[in-house]
Amino acid sequence: MSIEYDLLIVNGLVVTDQEVREVDIAIKHDKIAAVEARGSFKNAKAAQVIDADGGCVMPGGVDAHVHLEEPPLFGKGSSADTFETGSRSAVCGGTTSIIVFAPQQKNEDTLMTTLKATHAKAEGKCYSDYSFHLLIANPSENALSEFPALREAGISSLKIYMTYAALQLNDGQILDVLLAARQHKITTMIHAENNDLILWMTAQLEKRKMFQPKYHATSHPAMAEVEATYRAICLSEFIDAPILLVHISSPAAAKHIKQAQDRGLPIHAETCPQYLFLTKADLDKPGFEGAKCVCSPPPRESEQDQEGIWRGLEDGTFTVLSSDHCPFLYDDNETGKKTCITDEYPEGQFKYIPNGCPGVETRLPLAMSAERLPLTKLVEVTSTNAAKLYGLYPRKGAFIAGESDADIVIWYPQDKLQPFQLKNEMLHHNVDYSPYEGKTFKHWPRYTILRGQVVWDRDGGGLVGQRGQGTFLHRGPSSLKGSLSDEPWDIRGF
């Protein structure tokens, strides 16, 4: 007797973090119903069949580092993308789940109000599934007491900053957060840069009248990241709390991370495409153009640095490859990069350029187009590990029959897509540029499928998903390495 499915994906090369197999996939309702040998479903009835002949079929991307609808936090500008436009951009680039920051402000004493306000921004607007990391700017007693409520509300991760005036925590506050996070099985993401070193370098540059965008990179040297990364590792080890070091840009910082991992510590790390595909030279373009690539940490010195980051992905130092999509308009002096331009400073002042680059749509296509990582590794760092680290596995990041959502990205077969140079108008964000314009892409998703529904059909209308199709993802604890001891942290151990 034939079985009915909603969708079959046949003849593709199915890639997970574990293996590459010539198998077919059956989908019923919004789940992966079965993954079977080629041809197994030829007598099955299905409402729709996609022939993925020659193309790769992967779990949809999970991008766990996305900024949307944020107020000014990193310079004067505010986000160009809303939940609607950011999540739209995500699905058009093969990403089916995003985790977005819910930013608490320094003058706020509660996290639950922040969470509620962020839910209100996202609800009914998203094209992809979504969740939130709480961004903690004021770890007051009251805010820390809300961690159990956060967990009940499905939030199992938060981000803290060692820099930025609007967000920075001192080491004592970081210890407070790590201790409470450890107790409630919450993963702490840390932006590690030494704030005083950045401020000192900024003053040195300004004294010498060096204000152009390229000096943003000079003011954020690798040493600022290296010192703060090592400090964050020490604080994490002291509390025995797992951390994820976000957007690591320098091989020297990656070395500290690897050494900590080799000692068995629960230190996880993230890198981003800007550290694989851009360098400091991208900030040194004529006029103000370099501002397009101003982000923190900045792209580093040379191809050798990029090479070190690739090696960190290959050897497992980096758990995830996220976008750090932090979109600002370029040609805009009210909310965008040009807010830092005045009559006195016609090329702007680097210290006021909003920090961040768009990249949620280009993350997966860039990683595929580099043709550098083994495909299983690519799936691991762009989807599966993020799902594991942030408590979404195996619902996301996998093809496990009966358990995984049918979130799928299908790539064109080799040679079916003519390599093309990216133009910003090909993208679906609400930003007037991409740092990757002009770069050659050899791969782009042909289809993106969200819980069994095609939402991106590149040759059949492009974006075909609906606003509001994405749902909130209630998350559990991380399934990657956590605290080494199950005992409560005890001062008598010191």
- Decide if residue 268 touches Zn ion (CB under 5 A): no
Determine, following the binding rule CB under 5 A, whether residue 220 of this chain makes contact with Zn ion: no
- Binding pattern for the stretch 278-297 against ligand DUC, x by CB under 6 A and - elsewhere: -----------------xx-
CA separation for the pair 183, 179 (Å, rounded): 6
Task: Convert residues 138-177 into a mask of x (bound to Zn ion by CB under 5 A) and - (unbound).
Answer: ----------------------------------------
Contact call for residue 337 and Zn ion (CB under 5 A): no
Q: Smallest distance from the beta carbon of 329 to Zn ion, in angstroms?
A: 17
Nearer to ligand DUC (CB atom), residue 50 or residue 254? 254
The answer to the question of residue 191 lying near Zn ion (CB under 5 A) is yes
H-assigned helices in 28-170: 83-92, 112-122, 141-145, 147-152
Residue 313 site contact among Zn ion, ligand DUC, none (CB < 5 to 8 Å, cut-off depends on kind): none
Question: If binding is defined by CB under 6 A, does position 219 make contact with ligand DUC?
Answer: no
Query: C-beta of 326: minimal distance to Zn ion in Å?
Result: 5
- Contact code string over 412-451 relative to ligand DUC, x by CB under 6 A: ----------------------------------------
Residue found by looking up tokens 């609607």 in the block = 84
Q: Is 318 in the site for ligand DUC (CB under 6 A)?
A: no
Nearest to 389 by CA among 184, 243, 180: 243
Rule CB under 5 A: say whether 70 interacts with Zn ion. Answer: no
**Other CB atoms closer than 10 Å to residue 323's CB: what's the count?**
30
> First and final CA of the chain: distance in angstroms?
67
CB of 308 to Zn ion, least distance (A): 20
388 binds ligand DUC (CB under 6 A): no
C-alpha distances in Å from residue 274, one per residue of 248, 436, 443, 479 = 10, 9, 18, 28
d(CA 51, CA 39): 12
Judged by CB under 6 A, does residue 67 bind ligand DUC?
Answer: yes
Total residues interacting with ligand DUC, rule: CB under 6 A: 9
Find which of ligand DUC, Zn ion, none residue 299 binds, CB within 5 to 8 Å per kind: none
- The answer to the question of residue 157 lying near ligand DUC (CB under 6 A) is no
Question: Around Cβ 40, how many Cβ atoms within 10 Å?
Answer: 15
Q: Binds 81, which of ligand DUC, Zn ion, none (CB < 5 to 8 A, cut-off by type)?
A: none
> Pairing state of beta strands 129-135 and 157-161?
parallel
| 451 forms part of the interface with Zn ion (CB under 5 A) | no
Please answer whether residues 269 and 322 qualify as being in contact, where contact means their C-beta atoms are separated by less than 8 angstroms: no
CB-side exposure of 237: number of CA atoms within 13 Å? 14
Query: Residue 297: is the preceding peptide bond cis (ω within 30°)?
Result: yes
**What is the pattern of x (binds ligand DUC, CB under 6 A) and - over residues 325-354?**
-x----------------------------
Indicate the burial class of 107 (C-beta count within 10 angstroms; 0-12, 13-18, 19 or more): exposed
Residue 132 in contact with ligand DUC, rule: CB under 6 A: no
Minimum CB distance to ligand DUC, residue 330 (Å): 14
Residue 355 engages ligand DUC in binding (rule: CB under 6 A): yes
Where does residue 476 fall: left (phi above 0), alpha (psi -120 to 50 degrees), or beta otherwise?
A: beta
Find which of Zn ion, ligand DUC, none residue 355 binds, CB within 5 to 8 Å per kind: ligand DUC
- The interface with ligand DUC within residues 168-197 (CB under 6 A) comprises 191
Of 393, 457, 472, 454, nearest in space to 98 by CA? 472
Measured from the CB of residue 101, what is the shortest distance to ligand DUC in angstroms?
9
Which range, of 188-196, 251-259, 274-282, 331-339, touches Zn ion by CB under 5 A? 188-196
Strand 267-271 versus strand 320-321 pairing type: parallel
Within positions 69 to 88, which residues make up the interface with ligand DUC, using CB under 6 A?
A: 74
Task: Give the nearest distance from C-beta 95 to Zn ion in angstroms.
Answer: 16
Alpha-carbon distance of 142 to 140, in angstroms, equals 5
Looking at beta carbons only, is 68 or 181 nearer to ligand DUC?
Answer: 68
Given a contact cutoff of 8 angstroms between Cβ atoms, the answer to whether 306 and 275 are in contact is: yes
Span 317-336, contacts to Zn ion by CB under 5 A = 324
Find the DSSP H helices in 189-249: 195-207, 215-219, 222-239
Nearest approach, Cβ of residue 90 and Zn ion (Å): 15
Cα three-residue angle 118-121-127, rounded to 5 degrees: 110
| Total interface residues for Zn ion by CB under 5 A | 2
Locate tokens 């080629």: which residue?
Answer: 38
* Radius of gyration in angstroms for the set of CA atoms belonging to the chain, rounded to a whole number: 22
Counting contacts by CB under 5 A, is residue 429 touching Zn ion? no
Residue closest to Zn ion, measured at CB: 191
Three-state DSSP state, 186: coil
Structural contact between residues 410 and 12, judged by C-beta atoms closer than 8 angstroms: yes
Chain residues in the site for Zn ion (CB under 5 A): 191, 324
Chain residues in the site for ligand DUC (CB under 6 A): 67, 74, 191, 295-296, 324, 326, 355-356
